[in-house]
Amino acid sequence: MPSAPPGARRGPVEYSFDAAALAPDALDGGFFAGWPSPPSPVKHLAVLRGSHRALVALDAGRVVGFVTAISDGVATAFLPWLEVLPDYRGRGIGRELVERMTAELDGLYSIDLVCDGDVVPFYERLGWFRADAMLRRNPSAL
């Protein structure tokens, strides 16, 4: 799948659950800003393909946003990653990714996520509620 260069004309965003059709160069464009050890496009693609579900937002073949879900497929799911490129924020892409993913997981008992405090209002606007969480992270694994 060809990718458009950063800064290319933005067209209508399309959404796809088909991570198998992606190439690593479609993911090379500014995701994971500020991460201490961001995954390479190759590892990022492996994450998308290895997830229970992965949904990408595409502009001319370039991934401009994504959300992933891990799940037992029966009762629970967890959304570990949601990102939209900075130039595409404010266009409703993050909302659309979350809404489409939760619709895909409809019927499960719980869909959970952990997020930084500055994005809590975003999820609250989508009907999510606060809960406690525990974390352990290994940045060198990426």
Domain of residue 57, CATH code? 3.40.630.30
Report residue 24's pLDDT band, with 50, 70 and 90 as the boundaries. very high
* Integer CA distances (angstroms), 117 to 24, 37, 131, in order: 30, 21, 12
116, part of any domain? yes
Quote the pLDDT of residue 1. 42
Q: What's the pLDDT at 10? A: 59
Domain that holds residue 125: 14-130
State residue 3's pLDDT score.
43
Q: Evaluate whether residue 7 is within a structural domain.
A: no
